[in-house]
Amino acid sequence: MNNSVPKKMANCRLRIPSAALALAASLGSLPQGADAEVLRFEVLQTTPAFEGRSFGAVGPYVKITARATISVDPTDPHNAMIADIQLAPRNAAGRVVAVADVVVLRPAEALRGNGTLLVEVPNRGRKLAPQLFDDSVQPGANRADLAADAGIGFLHRQGFSMAWIGWQADIPSQPDQLAMSAPMLSGVTGQARDEFQLDHLRNPVKLTLSSAVNDPASLAVTVRAQWSEPRQTPAGLSVRATGAQSIEITRPAGFDAGALYEVTYNARDPVLLGLSFAATRDIAAFLRRDGSPANPLAVNGQSSAQRAIGFGISQSGRFLRDFVWLGFNQDLTGRPVFDGLMPHVAGARRMATNFRFGQPGRNSRHPQDPAWQADQFPFTYATLDDPLSGRRDGLLLRCRLSKTCPLVMQSDSEHEWWASRASLLVTDLAGNHLDLPADVRAYMIAGSPHNANPGEAMRRDPMMTLAVNPMHAGPPMRALLMAMQAWITEGVAPPASRVPMRAHGTLVDAAIAVRQDIPGLPYTGIHTGASYADQSVFPPRQIGSYPVFVPLADADAMAIAGIRMLPLQVPRASYTGWNPRAPGFGPGNLFPLQGAVLPLAANLEERLVAKDPRRSITERYADDAAYVNAVRLAAAQLVAERLLLPEDAERGIERAKQGRLDQLK
């Protein structure tokens, strides 16, 4: 989830393969009816998944690797929101063509599944849902080949069919990386910029730009220690082109590893990145509803998927927020694509995909550019009037008009409330309490980082001030997925939103959110703000800001509101969603994506010596049995609130007996 583009992406100006173009041309005369947006669904390989491992009554799974060719009518109002679609090359039928990688996992006997298709939007081409829901680990979580790749097999025991549809047109298609080939707008030029925070001191440094340079003489670079500081061009700073998308920056003296380098240039030949939303819409609708033999989910002339859930993590969660905001949850027949939508760790952010010279992979972080396209109004699902832009909008405005809104359950780590402006989900633009619509829920998983691998232990990193938070969000996310399943299948409302709120007094100014007298836990109120920027100038100019708040913490410096997992309910450490950068790496700023953990003192004597105001472990629990019993009681309460499944409660109790519940060792 790095801002810089991997070296393997250098010079990857993607074009539709000539064979695909020839195919599209040959099919151009086919009837272009309402269900003809998927021109071809080509199954490349069908293999047993997980070495034939069986999952209870559902049985074994099969893995289907495929490629889908779609055609998009640029004159159809359903596609009007795709930026620059009128400039794209067309086939003989006047359609814009794209080719997407697709992977499907389904029960070998499709009708033994639960009838729900879980479509995960790939994150930078990767499958992350198995890591979150199944406690699987990479690279196996991305492959589904070995029996162990299914982890605890949760999704499979539940009977979900799963699909991953390549959508990112600025990365190459390769093993373990799903992508989409989209048309290039040859000859189109314009201003572009990239920002890099390198976290090392190598000099000079070779980097890859997001777009091809049209005029090498237009390349310019600035540096600053903080985004709030003026752009600087000190002696010793320079940039030169080394290829169509590659550059070399020579770095000046006087800046540490966390300095910000902004590169501006005149770019050329953008890819039609916004086509990704149409590809996801059309292929997901095909898998969900098409009854032809071409659909790997079809049985007896109809799809075995009776409903669909859209799910995405981080970049992919932001994709889903844009997907519904742009109106793509309405398929070409006017029906909803997804019954339920579950953006995870997206905060109040969207993404810079549906733009000329967009950057789908970019994730601005504190203290980087607050004027980026991904961070503009609207922020929440309710429709609001923005006093700064003068616009009236909301993420569900378009689907309300077409009556195709999904049920929404957005989940975020606590980190998103510090780094991704998540408070804007539940406040208006003046900072007042805002109720979410009745068909939307929001959940904060308290004390958690943006992401942590299952089984990860507490560790140190030289770039961070504090030990790294190991909290994995799998247990509450499994409960929330089952709540969504009940909501869309039975109409059973999910648990009420669990987030900090202004009306509850748990969403507050950063200055007062966390106590500042805990040794070893330096708190200075660092968080990411939200701004309104004038996008008509280059670079965009910040001209206003919105109030942003953070979670109020308890006496142990842990968030009071949200879903408090067992290690927070029965603590042996303090867990936060924030971790400051260490000296030499941009001190005074948040480290991206991470939280922190600070163990409690073992006993009263140790606590008094450390002058730690937090109660020690022996002051909380008389012995190990008392600790395990406290975990058992907390687990029962979470199960009763439908925020923890019984199997995860038992798993947590067993881990507590083994001293491994909090992963401090």
Q: Quick check: pTM over 0.75?
A: yes
Whether residue 130 is found in the same domain as residue 253: no
| pLDDT at residue 428 in the model | 98
Does the pLDDT value for residue 26 go beyond 80? Answer: no
Q: Is residue 160 part of a domain?
A: yes
Q: Are 364 and 374 within 8 A, CB to CB?
A: yes
CA distances from 622 to 5, 574, 603, 626, 653 (A): 52, 19, 11, 6, 17
115 and 251 assigned to the same domain: no
Using one digit for the tens of pLDDT, what is the confidence trace for 497-510? 999 999 999 999 99
Q: Which residue has the tokens 């308290």?
A: 446
Which DSSP helix (H) or strand (E) runs through 608? helix 604-610
Pair 86, 234 in one domain: no
Place of tokens 């220690």: 225
Do 226 and 303 share a domain, yes or no? no
What is the tens place of the pLDDT at every residue in 600-637? 999 999 999 999 999 999 999 999 999 999 999 999 99
Is 26 part of any domain? yes
Nearest CA among 470, 488, 366, 340 for reference residue 413:
470
Q: Angle 443-445-451 (CA atoms, 0-180°, nearest 5)?
A: 120
For residue 62, is it within any domain? yes
| Boundaries of domain holding 233 | 189-268
pLDDT grade, residue 663 (50/70/90)?
A: confident
pLDDT in tens, 523-578: 999 999 999 998 888 988 888 999 999 999 999 999 999 999 999 999 999 999 99
At residue 34, the pLDDT reads: 39
For residues 111 and 216, state if they share a domain. Answer: no
Q: Which residues contact 664 (CB under 8 A, 6 or more apart)?
A: 457, 458, 470, 572, 573, 597, 599
Q: Pick left, alpha or beta for residue 487 (phi over 0 → left; psi -120 to 50 → alpha; otherwise beta).
A: alpha
Assess if residue 455 is contained within a domain.
Answer: no
Residue 371 lies in a domain: no
Q: Which one, of 367, 419, 403, lies nearest residue 551 by Cα?
A: 419
Please check whether residues 228 and 169 belong to one and the same domain.
Answer: no
Tens of pLDDT along 304-350?
999 999 999 999 999 999 999 999 999 999 999 999 999 999 999 99
Residue 594 lies in a domain: no
SS3 20: helix
Residues 12 and 63 in one domain: yes
Q: How many domains does the structure of the chain reveal?
A: 2
> Which pLDDT score, from 0 to 100, does residue 6 have?
32
What percent of the chain has pLDDT above 70? 95
- 223 and 75 in a common domain: no
The domain boundary residue, chosen from 217, 240, 268: 268
Beta bridge partners of 580: 590
Do 97 and 233 share a structural domain?
no
- Over residues 250-271, the mean pLDDT reads 97
Q: Do 153 and 51 fall within a single domain?
A: yes
Tokens in use for 130? Answer: 């198995």
Residues 149 and 84 in one domain: yes
In this prediction, residue 361 has a pLDDT band, given cuts at 50, 70 and 90, of confident
pLDDT at 36 over 60: no
Least confident of 351-365, 440-454, 599-613, 649-663: 351-365
Q: What are the E-state strand segments in 566-654? A: 573-576, 596-599
136 and 242 housed in the same domain: no
**Amino acid occupying residue 294:** A
Is 435 inside a domain boundary?
Answer: no
Calculate ∠ Cα 234-237-242, nearest 5°: 160
27 found inside a domain: yes
